[in-house]
Structure 1
Amino acid sequence: MGVMKRFEQRLEGLVNGTFAKVFKSEVQPVEIAGALQRECDNNATIWNRERTVVPNDFIVELSTPDYERLSPYSGQLGDELSGLVRDYAKQQR
Structure 2
Amino acid sequence: MGALSALEQTLENRWEALWARLLDKEPVEVVDALRRECDDNAVVCGRGRVMVPNAYDVELPDEVHEHLGRSGTEVGQALTDSLSRHAERRGYEWAGPLTVHVARCPDVPNGRYRVAGRVMPHVSADGFFRAAH
Determine which structure has greater relative contact order: mean sequence separation of CA pairs < 8 Å that are 6+ residues apart, divided by chain length: 2
Q: Distance in 2 between matches of 1:63 and 1:26?
A: 14
- Which structure carries more helix by proportion? 1
Q: Which has the higher strand share?
A: 2
Render the CA deviation track for 1:16-69: whole Å, top value 9, x for unaligned. Answer: xxxxxxxxx966221111110000011001100121111111111111111111
Aligned AA for 2:50? Answer: T
Provide the TM-score with structure 2 as the length reference.
0.46
Residues 73 and 57 of structure 1: CA distance in aligned 2, closer, same or farther (over 3 Å): farther
In the alignment, which residue of structure 2 is the partner of 1:15? Answer: none
Question: In 1, distance between residues paired with 2:38 and 2:78?
Answer: 16
Unaligned runs of 5+ in 1: 1-24
Greater Rg by CA = 2
| Aligned twin of 2:44 | 46
**How many residues are aligned here?**
69
Give, in whole Å, the separation in 2 of the partners of 1:74 and 1:60.
18
1:36 aligned partner: 34
Answer yes or no: is 1:86 the counterpart of 2:84.
yes
Counterpart position of 1:71: 69
Aligned pairs (5 A) from 1:2-17? none
The answer for unaligned runs of 5 or more in structure 2 is 1-22, 92-133
Paired residue type of 1:65: E
Local SS of the residue matching 2:39? helix
TM-score (norm. length: structure 1): 0.64
**Secondary structure at the residue paired with 2:30?**
helix
Q: What is the rounded CA distance, in whole Å, between the counterparts of 1:50 and 1:60 in structure 2?
A: 29
Q: CA RMSD in A?
A: 2.1
Identity %: 35
